Chains A and B, each alone.
Chain A
Amino acid sequence: MTAEMTLPPTNTRTIDWAALREDFPILHQRVHGRPLLYLDNAATTQKPRAVLDALCGYYERDNANVHRGVHELSNRATAAYEGARERAARFLNARRSEEIIFTRGTTEGINLVANTWGAKHLQSGDVILLTEMEHHSNIVPWQLLAGRTGARLAFLPITGDEGLLDLSRLDEWLTTDVKLLAFTHISNTLGTINPAAQLCSQARQRGIVTLVDAAQSAGHRPLDVQAIGCDFLALSGHKMCGPTGSGVLYGRIERLADMPPWHGGGDMIESVDYHHSTWKQPPHKFEAGTPNIAGAIALAAAMDYLDAVGRDKIAQHDEELGAYAFERLTALKGLRLLGPRLGRAGVVSFMLGDIHAHDVVTFADQAGIALRGGHHCNQPLMKKLGLESTSRASFYLYNTTDEIDRLTETLREIQKYFTTASAPSA
Chain B
Amino acid sequence: MFDNLNDLYQQVILDHSKAPRNFGELPGADHFAEGRNPLCGDQVSVAVKMQGDVIEDIRFKGSGCAIAKASASVMTTALKGKTLNEARTLFEKFHELVLTGQAAPCAQLGKLSVFGGVHRYPARVKCAILAWHAALAAMAGDQKKVSTE
Contact = CB atoms under 8 A, between A and B. Distances in A.
B85 interface: no
B71 interface: no
B121 A366 contact: no
A194 to B, nearest CB: 24
A418 B11 CA distance: 10
Contact of A359 (B41, B63, B65): B65
A177 interface: no
B15 A424 contact: yes
B106 interface: no
A336 interface: no
B40 A358 contact: yes
A379 B124 CA distance: 20
A366 B1 contact: yes
Contacts, number: 71
A362 B11 contact: no
B136 to A, nearest CB: 23
A382 B41 contact: yes
Interface string A37-55: 0000000000000000000
Interface residues of B, number: 28
A426 to B, nearest CB: 8
A362 B40 CA distance: 13
Given A356-B66, A358-B127, A388 B42 contact: yes
B15 A422 contact: yes
Contact of B40 (A357, A367, A417): A357
Interface in A367-422: 367, 373-375, 379, 382, 388-389, 410, 413-414, 417-418, 421-422
A188 to B, nearest CB: 15
19 contacts: A356-B66, A356-B69, A358-B40, A358-B42, A358-B65, A362-B5, A363-B5, A366-B1, A366-B2, A366-B4, A366-B5, A373-B40, A375-B41, A388-B40, A388-B41, A413-B2, A417-B9, A418-B14, A422-B18
Interface of B: 1-2, 4-5, 8-9, 11-12, 14-15, 17-19, 39-43, 63-69, 121, 124, 127
Interface of A: 32, 355-359, 362-363, 366-367, 373-375, 379, 382, 388-389, 410, 413-414, 417-418, 421-422, 424-425
